[in-house]
Structure 1
Amino acid sequence: MNPVDLQKLVSMTMPFGRYKGRLLADLPGNYLNWFAREGFPPGELGRLLHLMQEIDHNGLSGLLHPLRQTSTHD
């Protein structure tokens, strides 16, 4: 796992769709699982959504909590 990608999950927002404007780290699991079934978008966004889906699916979302604290002070 790339630390830069993890930081992006807590700072980058969803650019389109039902959850437009929501942090990638805050997207609901069922939405991430929908992408896993239907296909992730191309490029960096798709790669990050896939990473977030894997984190969520494996119950590892807690790993992002320390990063959220540092991103709010930037």
Structure 2
Amino acid sequence: MPNKDFLIQLAHTKMPYGKYKDRYLIDLPEYYIVWYHSKGFPKGKLGDMLNQVYELKLNGLEDMVRTIQKQYSK
């Protein structure tokens, strides 16, 4: 289970490149996250976050991240 700080950071992180650049990671289309899962997530923190987004979407927990976005708005 990720820690609170990681989830807060994940909630406010946007995709840094590609077709979905500047979209919050939690708002990336499910098919895109599944594609990354099958292809392999990038190395480093972005990959860790995308993997967590995959797990959250898989378990229907996207609203938890959206709640965090509202509670901890920057």
Same fold (TM over 0.5): yes
- State the identity as a percent: 36
Give the C-alpha shift of residue 71 in structure 1. 2.9
Query: Gaps (5+ residues) in structure 1?
Result: none
TM-score, normalised with respect to structure 2: 0.89
The aligned residue for residue 54 of structure 1 is 55
Considering only aligned residues, what root-mean-square deviation do their CA atoms show, in Å?
A: 1.1
1:11-58 deviation digits (Å, cap 9, x = unpaired) = 111011110111111111111001100000000000000000110011
**Large movers: runs of 4+ above 6 Å:** none
Distance 1:4 1:25 in 2: 16
The aligned residue for residue 63 of structure 1 is 64
Alignment of 1:24 with 2:7, yes or no, is: no
The aligned residue for residue 6 of structure 2 is 5
Letter in 2 for 1:28: P
TM-score, normalised with respect to structure 1: 0.89
Query: Gaps (5+ residues) in structure 2?
Result: none
Distance 1:9 1:28 in 2: 16
- Paired residues, number: 73
